[in-house]
Structure 1
Amino acid sequence: MAEATATFDVRRKGTAGVVDIQGDVTAGSEEVLMNAYESTGDITAVILNFTGLSYMNSGGIGLLVTLLVRARRRSQRLLAYGLSEHYRQIFELTRLDEAIGIHDTEQDALAATGAA
Structure 2
Amino acid sequence: MNERIATMDVVALGSGAAAIAISGDVTAACEQDLMAAHEQATDDGAKTIVLDFHGMDYMNSGGIGMLVTLLVRGQRRQQRIAAVGLTEHYRQIFQLTRLDEAILLFDSTDQALAGTAG
Q: Give TM-score, length-normalised by structure 1.
A: 0.93
1:94 corresponds to which residue? 97
Aligned AA (2:82)? L
Match of 1:45 among 45, 48, 56: 48
Deviations for 1:43-99, whole angstroms, at most 9, x for unmatched residues? 111100010000000000000000000000000011001100000000000000000
1:62 corresponds to which residue? 65
| 5+ residue gaps, structure 2 | none
C-alpha deviation, 1:4, in angstroms:
7.7
Question: For 2:116 and 2:94, how far apart are their aligned partners in 1?
Answer: 20
Contact 1:27–1:60, Cα closer than 8 Å, also in 2: yes
2:116 corresponds to which residue? 113
What fraction of aligned residue pairs are identical, expressed as a percent? Answer: 56
The number of aligned residues is 113
Contact 2:4–2:24, Cα closer than 8 Å, also in 1: no
| 5+ residue gaps, structure 1 | none
**Alignment pair present for 1:7 and 2:22:** no
Q: Give TM-score, length-normalised by structure 2.
A: 0.91
Q: Which 4+ stretches in 1 moved above 2 angstroms?
A: none
